[in-house]
Amino acid sequence: MSGADLARRMKITGPAVSALERSERDATIRVDTLRRAAEAMDCTFVYAFIPNQSLDETIRTHARQAARRQLAEVANTMALEDQAIVVGEDLIRAQTELLISKGRVWADGS
């Protein structure tokens, strides 16, 4: 579609289309302007955030963080009672899987 066609459909001037294109290139365009341009081109405007990780990876990351926090608290309490425990990767992995299986990954607000 030409700039003149877009201007006509959006009911704006040719220079306004050029300004719109410039603002898009400079990443300063407004969402409502993009929506109007999409409608003028008989398109659906979609604005989306796409995660960099899969849902499974995100859940595992949060569960691992929660497991480390919980185990650090337990280790601290046990050490105060002179019953120190070693928090190794096997224990963290087991606690992570337990949190995931119980659906408690975000239960602590993380």
Range of the domain at 28: 3-40
Is 21 inside any structural domain? Answer: yes
Count of structural domains within the chain: 2
CA torsion sign for 83, 87, 91, 95 is: positive
The residue ranking higher by pLDDT, 12 or 76, is 12
Residues 97, 64, single domain; the answer is yes
Residues 34, 59, single domain; the answer is no
C-alpha count within 13 angstroms, C-beta hemisphere, residue 62: 16
Residues 59, 35, single domain; the answer is no
Tens digits of per-residue pLDDT, 23-41? 999 999 999 999 999 999 9
Predicted pLDDT at 110: 45
